[in-house]
Amino acid sequence: LLLYFFSEGIDLSAAQGFLITGIIILLLVLAIASQVSGYFFNILARFFVKPFYKVTIKNFPKEKTAPTILVSERLKGVYIALLSAFNPELHFYLPRSKKRYVDSFFRLFSSVDFIYVKDPKEEGLKAFLKKVHQKKSLTPCLLFPYPKFLESKSSTKLIKDLKKVGKFTVTHVEIKRVSRKEQIDRKHFKRPQVTFSFKSST
């Protein structure tokens, strides 16, 4: 119908009609993908990231909807994708001190959101809890790469104060990766092994 309209209605050539139709379809697909970004990101991770890794998940938190602070210095992009492939209901928040150009893309087409604060440590925790209690998402997870901060005395009081505001858990994530070269049990069809070990502290 679109091709007929473009060729007969507004007198465009077949090539121009195909081009405009393709652009419209692409925009519609992107709009739909942005509305279900978490599941869209999960599908991409399951089909294009997870097959290249052998993933083991240990002691994953059972309470699915409670806000969770995931503490690890090693939570980089590929590990976020692997966690999303494991559970499509996870929605990640990352504290940052300034905005980057790529952030808007991630917000639209992935289950990663960003919290912009001057101090990603203390202010990041407060902003995360305030945001998730205002906007209910599936399972909000703050990616918190500052484990040493949580060991300080000031953070102990902060956590207690934040507990009064709303319920959440603090979970430490240990990530162990074994490369193909380090695997001696197999000769062929090796994949990097990634093990996520979760341990709740509060």
Where do the structural domains in the chain lie, given as residue ranges?
2-35, 50-200
Helix (H, G, I), strand (E, B) or coil at 30: helix
SS3 state of residue 169:
strand
Contact partners, residue 172, CB within 8 Å, separation at least 6? 71, 72, 147, 198, 199, 200, 201
* CA angle at 193 for the pair 143 and 72, rounded to the nearest 5°: 20
pLDDT confidence bin for 7, thresholds 50/70/90: low
Q: Could you read off the pLDDT of 135-188 as tens digits, one per residue?
A: 665 789 999 998 888 887 667 788 888 887 778 888 999 999 988 888 777 667
User: 153-165 and 122-134 are packed helices; what angle lies between their axes, rounded to 10 degrees?
Assistant: 10
In this structure, is the dihedral angle defined by the CA atoms of residues 198, 34, 129 and 98, taken in order, positive or negative? positive
pLDDT > 80? residue 193: yes
pLDDT digits (tens, 9 = 90+) for 83-116: 988 888 888 999 988 888 878 777 766 788 889 9
Give residue 180's pLDDT: 82
pTM equals 0.75
Nearest-CA neighbor of 105 among 115, 113, 96?
A: 113
How far is Cα 81 from Cα 59, in angstroms, rounded to an integer?
18
Structure tokens at 62: 């059972």
115 token code pair: 């919290």
